[in-house]
Amino acid sequence: MMALPHRLTLTQYLIQQRRRFPGASGNFNALMLDVALACKSIARTVAFGELAQASSAAANELGGAINVQGEAQKPLDVISNEVFTTFNDWSGQCAGLASEEMDDPYQIPAGNKRGKYLLVFDPLDGSSNIDVNVSVGSIFSVLRAPDEVVASGRDVTEADFLQPGSRQVAAGYALYGPTTMLVLTVGSGVVGFTLDPNLGEFMLTHPNIQVPTQTHEFAINASNSRFWEAPIKRYVDECLAGKTGPRGKDFNMRWIASMVAEAHRILMRGGVFMYPRDTKDPSKPGRLRLLYEANPIGFIIEQAGGRASTGRQPVLGVTPSSLHQRIGLVFGSKCEVERIERYHAEPAKSEQVSPLFAERSLFRD
Ligand code: F6P
């Protein structure tokens, strides 16, 4: 009889990790299990699609669809936000939460224990894909609450969350695709779990995820090309030129418009993702959000040996200025991201002065 492969469950994996830190209280593991439970719940809701009468299209059309009990149904991103807050405000691990769906930080309700972590999340990223049955996901980032917040147990403020991504304790995402997966980093590599629908357990299926270094795939919303800055134009033009251009090889392009799915593809088979700063709307320095999109994905990608950048600096080095700050983001296979950074650092071709006319040239005294 063929032996089944022994796979760790998420709980077993977390216990194994905790053994490496004998002083650890177990609070972090409890938080991860709460987050995983929220993701399992969202996976179930998403899987019912139109049957749940909660698609965002239906809700928008009807100003909130009505379910069989005659109650108003909410769009899935709102439901997912409630799932995240409900599963994470009770067990005493968090000092406060913040989400794409809430303008201000969420306070742990009076009467519930408060803990030492800050949980920041995008409960349903890529939600415009829900109505077309394309993969979506949840993204989360864990920070430590400032000592003084933990000691006083006071309400959290926006300022408590404004920590650079390099201070993340953990980050992850759940991908609701053909299978539901949970991908996680606690700062020592990246691991991936697949939800076993029979057991309702996340099983460790990808024990050491590494972004492949070589790639011939890039992802960008090309409809924005007229708004791109010169370094991005140059990079994409060179990819499009393929074998006949300076890269000397053909590239393939992908755009799912669901960053979690895009990040997952890059973790599995390499590539580069760009949602760079552009000139489309000068009031928006990029499309994606720093705290709950760019930072967690950046942390995962870097832990998997890739690179994440604004194009000008490592994204994890940026000190946030507001909870919902947007930023330009480029991530994926290290050499490609470094090349894009190099293009940003080099003076634009038009600004380059021919060596003959430069400072110490033949034509200067
Ligand atoms: O809000 C983020 C998001 O949905 C990402 O998941 C995705 O990469 C991006 O927006 C898609 O943007 P666009 O609609 O411009 O292609």
pLDDT in tens, 257-279: 999 999 999 999 999 999 999 99
**Boundary (domain end) residue, out of 158, 187, 206:** 206
pLDDT at position 347 is 75
111-169 per-position pLDDT tens digit = 999 999 999 999 999 988 998 999 999 999 999 999 999 999 999 999 999 999 999 99
Give the residue numbers spanning the domain of 288.
Answer: 217-346
| Closest to 175 measured CA to CA, from 264, 99, 254 | 264
Mutate to test the pocket of ligand 1, among 124, 129, 136, 258 (most ligand atoms within 8 A of CB): 258
H/E element, 329: strand 329-332
Whole-model pTM: value is: 0.90
288 in a structural domain: yes
For residue 249, give the CATH number of its domain: 3.40.190.80
Q: What ligand 1 atom has the least distance to the C-alpha of 129?
A: 4
User: Is 224 found in the same domain as 158?
Assistant: no
Whether pLDDT at 316 is above 60: yes
In the listed set 176, 206, 236, which residue is the last one of a domain according to the structure?
A: 206
Number of domains in the chain: 2
Same domain, 180 and 314: no
Domain boundary among 142, 174, 206: 206
Closest CA to 93 of 71, 65, 114, 124: 114
- Judge if 142 and 284 occupy the same domain: no
168 and 290 together in one domain = no
Q: What number is the average pLDDT over the span 27-43? A: 97
Range with the poorest average pLDDT among 4-18, 75-89, 226-240: 4-18
Q: How far is CA 332 from CA 10, 58, 88, 118, 241, in A?
A: 26, 36, 30, 27, 21
Sign for the pseudo-dihedral over CA of 90, 92, 95, 97 = negative
For residue 363, is it within any domain? no
Q: What is the mean pLDDT of the chain?
A: 90
Shared-domain flag, residues 91 and 69 = yes
Tell whether 197 and 252 lie within a shared domain.
no
Centre of ligand 1 from the C-alpha of residue 126, in Å: 6
Q: Is 235 a member of any domain?
A: yes
State the pLDDT at residue 52.
75
What is the spatial distance between Cα 315 and Cα 23, in angstroms, rounded to a whole number? 31
Check whether residue 16 and residue 106 sit in a common domain.
yes
Q: Tell me the one-letter amino acid at 281.
A: D
Q: Which residue's CA is minimally distant from atom 8 of ligand 1?
A: 259
Residue 354 Cα to ligand 1 middle (Å): 40
Has residue 325 been placed in a domain? Answer: yes
Closest CA to 174 of 189, 188, 195, 190: 195
83, 202: one domain: yes
Find the CATH number of the domain harbouring 115: 3.30.540.10
Tell me, yes or no, whether 232 and 269 share the same domain: yes
